[in-house]
């Protein structure tokens, strides 16, 4: 149960009218990646919570970015702009830079242009090829990257000029495109560092002649005037302190964070590695404490022993049916001990919503678990939605992350998967400990729906596909409402034994049985059938309604 490729707890409430998952199936590697692949968020951010001034300034040269170990060059970065790291699956991006405050230019009342500069690599050497079985999006040349990745495409080469910069053959390119009646331009300088290695500095700006002249001059100052070739001193990767998987992962992340400048740092707990750009030390400290504390609750509810029994049962079933052994690449938990794998969990924390969105967070979401890259991503929502949104999302998504390593790449029904994530989202942090409460994000929505008698019969809800759960259903119930009902049903099943008069003791085993069957067979329909066998649906629904309304 790896969880959601797109932000789950941020899927919204009735007031938000949003489903962050709407564009992709859960667990599928082909999820909505537009922002994460280096695109300007030209249309995606229109519905975001950013409140920005209309004026933007062309970048000025700031500090140097220096690379003496991989490609051998240095250039100045935009002064005061925010450093955005590459996603694990981005094979071209070295770094991206966004304005710290004004994120876009209003080309016209209906046409914003979001501002970025990029440092890119085009490494065609055999040793730069991705590891076998690893997903990596790589464009082989600059022209392809610009035409595929910038502002919804449509750019055409308008001008090019060759230079020799610091004894390196280089070419300056200008691309142009129209968005409606408005002009946009891309500036790019390509440095041919080695026969099979190019590096590029790219920036996007307004294309209207007078405005572009300022931006072109600014980009040229960064990419042409500040470029210096450096001698490459090949540096071996950081040597792991020991031989464990965790030691190796730490060394890899230490090398990664060294490429990000001073804005990002690597923190760790016994079970997590946390990459954060948030300078708030108190926030970071609390986040580390919360991660370990909520994990203890996951471990009590989903012990490793049960997962191993289910995994072995599924492997046995595969053998008996004469099929192939489960694909070890379906989850990295397969070829190694699940507990050891889970102790390498990575959480990336963006300092604010703007950084999160530029990194690739789905608009209107608070975070997501990306099982393909094995990375949980959240941001500090203090300045926008409040930190309660961050903490609820962290609990929700960390559950998906935790369970991924133990059960692997299985896909429960959404009522179970998202309802359980929201169940953990309802744990409140008091005096350094977690206490279970009703998840206040969902309570108003489900109570409002029940007042209007707008709910899915439970017997139907437990069979709904993801598409139905996200809004494609005959009742026209929106995703936020189904999320609220899914949470309330999980809360009922997990807490009803001690609180519901008339409780049927057989109901206490429903969730365990569902996961046991699903983990052993991978069959969702069989899991529902066996978990709810013999259930008096009318009685269950009556008691669920009474308990939820109370």
pLDDT of 368-408, one tens digit each? 999 989 999 999 999 999 999 999 999 999 999 999 988 87
Above 50 in pLDDT, residue 192?
yes
pLDDT at 176 over 70: yes
As a whole number, the mean pLDDT across the chain is 86
pLDDT, mean of residues 454-482? 97
Asked if residue 97 has pLDDT above 70, the reply is: yes
Q: What residue segments make up the domains of the chain, in order of their start? A: 1-32+239-411, 35-229, 413-550
What tokens does 126 get? 């055999």
pLDDT band at 2, cuts 50/70/90? very low
**Residue 417 pLDDT > 60:** yes
Query: Residue 17: its pLDDT value, please?
Result: 28
Q: Measured between alpha carbons, how far is 56 from 468 in angstroms, rounded to an integer?
A: 43
Residues in CB range of 258: below 8 A, 6 or more apart: none
Mean of pLDDT values over 451-468: 97
What value does the mean pLDDT take over residues 270-296?
98
Please report the sign of the dihedral spanned by the C-alpha atoms of residue 446, residue 447, residue 452, residue 457: positive
Domain 35-229 CATH assignment equals 2.40.128.20: no
Q: Which residues lie closer than 8 Å to 254 by C-beta, 6 or more apart?
A: 238, 266
What does the alpha-carbon distance between residue 221 and residue 141 come to, in Å, rounded to a whole number?
Answer: 23
Are residues 110 and 180 in contact, defined by beta-carbon separation less than 8 angstroms? Answer: yes
Partners of 106 in the β-ladder: 112
Residue with the larger pLDDT of the pair 131 and 489: 489
What architecture does CATH give domain 413-550?
Answer: Orthogonal Bundle (1.10)
User: Residue 512's pLDDT band (boundaries 50, 70, 90)?
Assistant: very high
Helices 304-320 and 510-521 cross at an angle (nearest 10°) of 40
What is the 8-class DSSP label of residue 329? G
Give the Cα separation of 263 and 351 in Å (integer).
10
Determine contact, residues 51/57, Cβ cutoff 8 Å.
no
Alpha-carbon span 22 to 408, nearest angstrom: 23
Q: What is the dihedral of CA 152, 154, 157, 163, to 10 degrees?
A: 0
- Give percent of the chain above pLDDT 90: 69
Alpha-carbon distances of 336 from 29, 252, 268, 306, 549, rounded to whole Å = 21, 18, 21, 17, 46
pLDDT at 243: 83
Instruction: Using pLDDT thresholds of 50, 70 and 90, give the confidence band for residue 234.
Output: low
What confidence category does residue 140 fall into, taking pLDDT thresholds of 50, 70 and 90? very high
Lowest mean pLDDT among 123-132, 225-234, 268-277, 479-488: 123-132
CA 102 to chain centre: 24
Tokens of 526: 């069989």
Q: For residue 328, what pLDDT is reported?
A: 42
- Specify the length of the chain in residues: 550
Using CA atoms of 333, 289, 437, 431 in order, give the dihedral in degrees to the nearest 10: 160
The C-alpha atoms of residue 409 and residue 21 are separated, in whole angstroms, by 18
Q: Average pLDDT in the 522-548 region?
A: 97
Comparing 35-229 with 413-550, is the CATH topology the same?
A: no
Looking up tokens 């390498």 gives: 344
**CA trace torsion 485, 512, 532, 502 (10° rounding):** -70
Q: pLDDT tens across 480-489, in order? A: 999 999 999 9
Answer whether residue 312 shows pLDDT above 90: no
Flag whether pLDDT at 45 surpasses 80.
no
Better pLDDT: 415 or 112: 415
CA gap 253, 259 in Å, rounded: 10
The strand order across the sheet containing 73-78 reads 61-67, 73-78, 228-229
Higher model confidence: residue 240 or residue 34? Answer: 240
pLDDT at residue 56, rounded to an integer: 83
Answer whether residue 189 shows pLDDT above 60. Answer: yes
pTM of the model: 0.85
What local confidence, expressed as pLDDT, does residue 217 receive?
A: 97
pLDDT reading at 507 higher than 50: yes
Closest-CA residue to 394 (of 490, 265, 298, 305): 298
pLDDT at 136: 86
- The residue with tokens 């179970």 is 416
pLDDT digits (tens, 9 = 90+) for 315-355: 888 777 765 554 444 444 445 678 889 999 999 999 999 99
More confident residue, 277 or 233: 277
DSSP category for residue 237: P
Q: What is the mean pLDDT of the segment spanning 117-128?
A: 93
Task: Pick the closest to residue 341 from 285, 291, 273, 286 (CA basis).
Answer: 273
* pLDDT tens digits along 15-44: 332 223 222 222 222 233 333 333 333 223
Mean pLDDT for 143-162 is 91
Other Cβ atoms closer than 10 A to 497:
12
pLDDT over 70 percentage in the chain: 86
Task: Indicate if the pLDDT at residue 115 is higher than 50.
Answer: yes
Residue whose pair of structure tokens reads 């209906």 in the numeric block: 110
- pLDDT confidence of residue 236: 64
**Which residues face 123 on adjacent strands?**
197
């Amino acid at each position: 149960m790896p969880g959601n490729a797109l932000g789950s707890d941020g899927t919204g409430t009735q007031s938000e009218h949003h489903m962050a998952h709407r564009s992709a199936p859960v667990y599928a590697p082909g999820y909505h990646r537009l922002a994460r692949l280096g695109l300007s968020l030209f249309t995606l951010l229109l519905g975001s919570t950013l409140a920005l001034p209309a004026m933007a300034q062309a970048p000025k040269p700031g500090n140097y970015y220096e690379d003496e170990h991989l490609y051998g060059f240095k250039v100045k970065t935009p002064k005061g702009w925010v450093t955005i790291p590459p996603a694990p699956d981005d094979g071209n991006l070295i770094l991206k830079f966004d304005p710290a405050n004004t994120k876009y230019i209003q080309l016209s009342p209906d046409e914003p242009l979001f501002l970025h500069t990029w440092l890119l690599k085009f490494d065609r050497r055999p040793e730069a090829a991705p590891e076998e079985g690893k997903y990596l999006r790589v464009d082989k040349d600059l022209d392809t990257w610009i035409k595929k990745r910038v502002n919804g495409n449509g750019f055409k080469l308008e001008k090019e000029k060759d230079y020799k910069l610091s004894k390196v053959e280089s070419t300056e390119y200008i691309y142009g495109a129209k968005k409606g009646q408005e002009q946009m331009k891309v500036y790019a300088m390509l440095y041919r560092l080695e026969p099979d290695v190019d590096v590029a500095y790219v920036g996007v700006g307004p294309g209207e002649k007078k405005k572009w002249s300022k931006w072109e001059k600014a980009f040229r100052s960064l990419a042409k005037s500040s470029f210096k070739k450096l001698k490459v001193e090949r540096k071996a990767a950081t040597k792991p302190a020991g031989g464990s998987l965790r030691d190796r992962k730490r060394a890899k992340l230490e090398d990664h964070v060294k490429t990000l400048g001073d804005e990002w740092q690597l923190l760790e707990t016994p079970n997590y590695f946390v990459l954060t750009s948030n300078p708030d030390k108190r926030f970071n400290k609390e986040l580390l404490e919360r991660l370990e504390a909520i994990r203890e609750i996951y471990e009590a509810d989903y012990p490793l022993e049960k997962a191993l029994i289910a995994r072995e049962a599924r492997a046995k079933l595969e053998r008996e049916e004469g099929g192939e052994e489960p694909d070890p690449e379906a989850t990295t938990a397969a070829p190694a001990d699940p507990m050891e794998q889970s102790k390498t969990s990575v959480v990336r924390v963006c300092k604010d919503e703007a950084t999160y969105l530029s990194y690739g967070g789905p608009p209107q979401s608070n975070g997501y678990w990306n099982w393909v890259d094995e990375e949980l991503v959240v941001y500090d929502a203090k300045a926008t939605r409040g930190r309660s949104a961050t903490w609820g999302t962290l609990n929700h998504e960390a559950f998906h992350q935790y369970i991924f390593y133990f059960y692997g790449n299985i896909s429960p029904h959404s009522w179970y998967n998202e309802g359980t994530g929201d169940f953990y989202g309802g744990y409140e942090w008091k005096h350094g400990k977690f206490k279970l409460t009703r998840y206040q994000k969902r309570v108003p929505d489900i109570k409002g729906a029940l007042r209007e008698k707008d709910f899915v019969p439970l017997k139907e809800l437990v069979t709904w596909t993801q598409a139905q759960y996200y809004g494609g259903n005959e009742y026209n119930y929106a995703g936020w409402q189904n999320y609220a009902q899914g949470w309330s049903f999980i809360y009922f099943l997990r807490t009803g034994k001690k609180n519901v008069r008339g409780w049927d003791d057989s109901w206490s085993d429903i969730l365990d049985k569902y996961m046991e069957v699903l983990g052993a067979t991978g069959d969702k329909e069989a899991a529902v059938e066996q978990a709810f066998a013999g259930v008096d649906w009318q009685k269950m629904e009556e008691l669920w309604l009474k308990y939820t309304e109370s």
